[in-house]
Amino acid sequence: MSRLAGKVAIVTGGGGGIGSAVARRLVAEGARVAVADIFEESARRAAEPLGDAAIAVAFDAASADSVKALVDQTVAHFGKLDILHNNAAMTDPAKSAQDTTATDIPLGIWQEILDVNLTGYLLGCRYAIPHMIANGGGSIVNTASNSGTAGDLARIAYGSTKGAIITLTRYVATQHGAQNIRCNSIAPGVVLTEALDKTVPGLKDIIKRHILTPEFGTPDDIAALVAFLASDESRYITGENISISGGGLIHQPHYADLKAFMEGAG
């Protein structure tokens, strides 16, 4: 497939489970990619197998200067910018453990999560859009989450940023549509990255009762959606939030209980 031949992309959080799969997929479809992460080593590990089609860039999504430098370095290296995949997020287990409830979350943790997950996406748009306009247009794909569309027992800051990303996406799409900039968000449900499988081993069994597909989604499933939204095949889709979660949020809340009851009765 060469849907992305000639395109240049930035993938933030590119050293992580989903980001590295997206970088691989975009390159497989013909793009050249800046794989950007706060951990230089993991960015390098993801970029190196992709050869000359990828560079590794260390950056901090929470710093305006650093995000600007990432965009400038990408344009200096590859000559332009067509695609931005804002995907980095605070997923450090020690910090996530403190992301609890409205009454308990330390304000410092709340702010840190907002800075990376939300302001980081704004900054990516801020510095990427002028280059995209200069180039005749572009596609921005923001990673939100199903956690941004429904409440949960923990991670109030994470969920709030993911909800806000869906709204940020609509504003960017609205404000820059006339300049041929499309902006969409994707909302993964549980995706079994290696890290998640290790840190929350019991989660798998709970979630499995609520998804409708026989198998969990993988980072490669997410990458396929990002590649589609990045490509001109999706040229009439903008401002949307697309859930990619095995139907986990589309059924009645009592689905799992009723299913267990019916199986027991049968």
Ligand X SMILES: NC(=O)c1ccc[n+]([C@@H]2O[C@H](COP(=O)([O-])OP(=O)(O)OC[C@H]3O[C@@H](n4cnc5c(N)ncnc54)[C@H](O)[C@@H]3O)[C@@H](O)[C@H]2O)c1
In this structure, are residues 102 and 110 in contact, taking their beta carbons and an 8 Å threshold? no
13 in contact with ligand X (CB under 6 A): yes
Does 158 participate in catalysis according to the annotation? yes
> Among the candidate windows 84-92, 171-179, 235-243, 253-261, which touches ligand X by CB under 6 A?
84-92
User: Closest-CB residue for ligand X?
Assistant: 16
193 in contact with ligand X (CB under 6 A): yes
**Which residue lies nearer to ligand X by CB, 54 or 116?**
116
Burial classification of residue 120, based on how many CB atoms lie within 10 Å of its CB (0-12 exposed, 13-18 middle, 19 or more buried): buried
195 in contact with ligand X (CB under 6 A): yes
- Catalytic pick among 121, 127, 158, 171: 158
3-class SS of residue 100? coil
Q: Which of 23, 27, 47, 60 binds ligand X (CB under 6 A)?
A: 60
β-partners of residue 35 are 11, 56
Q: Which of 9, 34, 89, 128 binds ligand X (CB under 6 A)?
A: 89
In this structure, are residues 90 and 37 in contact, taking their beta carbons and an 8 Å threshold? no
3-class SS of residue 3? coil
Q: Which of 11, 55, 75, 88 binds ligand X (CB under 6 A)?
A: 88
Q: How far is the CB of 153 from ligand X (least distance, A)?
A: 16
74 in contact with ligand X (CB under 6 A): no
Burial classification of residue 262, based on how many CB atoms lie within 10 Å of its CB (0-12 exposed, 13-18 middle, 19 or more buried): exposed
Position 71, amino acid: V
In this structure, are residues 142 and 185 in contact, taking their beta carbons and an 8 Å threshold? yes
- How far apart CA 55 and CA 129 sit, in angstroms, is 20
CA 259, 263, 266: angle at the middle one, nearest 5? 135
96 in contact with ligand X (CB under 6 A): no
Q: How far is the CB of 21 from ligand X (least distance, A)?
A: 8
- How far apart CA 217 and CA 224 sit, in angstroms, is 11
172 in contact with ligand X (CB under 6 A): no
Q: Which of 4, 8, 11, 18 binds ligand X (CB under 6 A)?
A: 18
138 in contact with ligand X (CB under 6 A): no
19 in contact with ligand X (CB under 6 A): yes
246 in contact with ligand X (CB under 6 A): no
From the list 227, 147, 130, 160, the residue with the least C-alpha distance to 190 is: 147
Contacts to ligand X by CB under 6 A: 12-13, 15-19, 37-39, 42, 59-62, 87-91, 116, 143, 145, 188, 190-191, 193, 195-196
